[in-house]
Amino acid sequence: MPELPDIALYIEALERRVVGRRLDAVRVRSAFLVRTYDPPLSSLEEKVVRRMRRLGKRIVFGFDDELWLIFHLMIAGRLHWKDRGAKFPGKGGLAAFDFENGTLLLTEAGSKHRASLHLVRGEENLRAHAPGGLDVFAATVGEFAAALRRESHTVKRSLTDPRLFDGIGNAYSDEILHRAKLSPFALSQKLSDEEIARLFAATREVLREWIERFREQTGDRFPEKVTAFRPEMAVHGKFGKPCPVCGAPVQRIRYADNETNYCPRCQTDGRILADRSLSRLLKDDWPGHLDEL
């Protein structure tokens, strides 16, 4: 799923291309995509984009007449900037927005139809779509600590809860926790003040570094290679590969459609955390410590 650094780059690229530009036509190919009916998408035609916003992991276009178009890309949704009037790709094309200077295509890989569009009128209706999570760049360490301790969860779950923190998902939470040298299973309400301060600094550092890296890599081009797995990452998607800090093999915990990656030496004092399915299968053969690998 595109997270804060990816969404920030999408918005910067779109600001350069569509703010001040007229939307001439909307083409929708998927009946599952549009989740609102009043006002209709057709009411956007001939309107001008005045501003762009981010609501958590959502991309928001602000049009004339207080109309707000909200894109939620979910896991597999992606945006592409093409020549005006571009055709839908053979697979995965959901919608096309024909601006006076080009076409924005919305695609989604797979068949689960999770991406969505909402069109609302007015600031109040827009705010109803805000998850409410804390913006870590605008927050103090005290505000960060209060959000973290609001509910009792693992720190991994807390970081990825959009009601608590703004724009952080599975990939960057792995990178943040590795930078902070904290176990993903540490309990949010049991972290010390020093650990929270370290986590706060790591969160801001990691997100800022990736935004800057993406800016350098993308330049003035439209971001096309939006993925949760990048070679420069320290632990996310790096199962079995050496930790860039200590050289220990990166471990993982799989659950549902996600997995958590961590370094046992940097984050868990050498302990290998139990993987629900694999540790049950191996039972006594499951390595409990890095030395047993």
- Residue 183 belongs to some domain of the structure: yes
How far is the CA of 160 from the CAs of 139, 154, 176, in angstroms? 17, 10, 11
Give first-to-last CA distance, the chain, whole Å.
32
Q: Based on the domain organization, do 108 and 157 belong to the same domain?
A: no
Threshold 0.85, pTM exceeds: yes
CB 198 within 8 A of CB 144: no
- Residue 133 belongs to some domain of the structure: no
> Given 127, 153, 173, which residue is the final one in a domain?
127
Give me the number of domains the chain comprises: 2
Give pLDDT, residue 142: 98
Parent domain of 254: 141-292
Q: Based on the domain organization, do 155 and 118 belong to the same domain?
A: no
Residues contacting 38, CB < 8 A, separation 6+ = none
CB 252 within 8 A of CB 258: no
> Given 127, 160, 185, which residue is the final one in a domain?
127
Q: Based on the domain organization, do 75 and 97 belong to the same domain?
A: yes
Give pLDDT, residue 291: 62
Quick one: which H or E segment has residue 212?
helix 193-218
Q: Based on the domain organization, do 108 and 178 belong to the same domain?
A: no
Q: Based on the domain organization, do 175 and 279 belong to the same domain?
A: yes
Give pLDDT, residue 282: 37
Residues constituting the chain? 293
CA distance 41 to 49: 14
- Residue 46 belongs to some domain of the structure: yes
> Given 98, 127, 156, which residue is the final one in a domain?
127
Spell out the per-residue pLDDT of the chain, length 293, in tens.
899 999 999 999 999 999 999 999 999 998 889 999 999 999 999 999 999 999 999 999 999 999 999 999 999 999 999 999 999 998 899 999 999 999 999 999 987 889 999 999 999 999 999 999 999 999 999 999 999 999 999 999 999 999 999 999 999 999 999 999 999 999 999 999 999 999 999 999 999 999 999 999 999 999 998 998 999 999 999 999 999 999 999 999 987 678 899 999 999 999 988 765 544 443 444 456 666 65
136 is written with which tokens? 């870590």
